[in-house]
Amino acid sequence: MKARMAHLKRKAEPAEPKNLYEVAVGQTVWVTSVDVDDLDMRRRLQDLGIIAGTRVLCKQKAPSGNPKAYLVRGATVAIRKNDSERILVTTTPPEYAEAD
């Protein structure tokens, strides 16, 4: 039995993204925290609704990979790599996540 099943390999599940920049196009994640040191940038992200619990969909990326476009609370926003790397995310919606 093992010999017959040896050729069947489990597909490795992709690693869960740790920051927003690691999210693949078409993938939905939830923000867990925003660790941006620049207070102006932190405020801009908060104004866009990027706070803990917010659902974010990666819509597309530039040919160079930077920036990426994300759907956040009904608006599409482009966020540069250096800023999106500071936004921590998870693929599991938290209990306090925004409702649909």
Mean pLDDT (the chain) is 84
Q: Is 83 within 8 Å of 41 (Cβ atoms)?
A: yes
CB atoms within 10 A of CB 24: 11
Q: Which residue has the tokens 């405020």?
A: 43
Q: What is the pLDDT of residues 31-56, one digit of tens each?
A: 999 998 889 999 999 999 999 999 99
Q: Which helix (H) or strand (E) holds 83?
A: helix 81-84
- Does pLDDT of 90 surpass 70? yes
pLDDT of residue 37: 87
Q: What is the pLDDT of residues 15-27, one digit of tens each?
A: 677 999 999 999 9
- Does pLDDT of 61 surpass 90? yes
**What residue type is assigned to position 8 of the chain?**
L
- Does pLDDT of 1 surpass 80? no
Average pLDDT on 59-85 reads 93
Please choose, from the candidates 31, 66, 37, the residue with its C-alpha nearest in 3D space to the C-alpha of residue 52.
Answer: 31
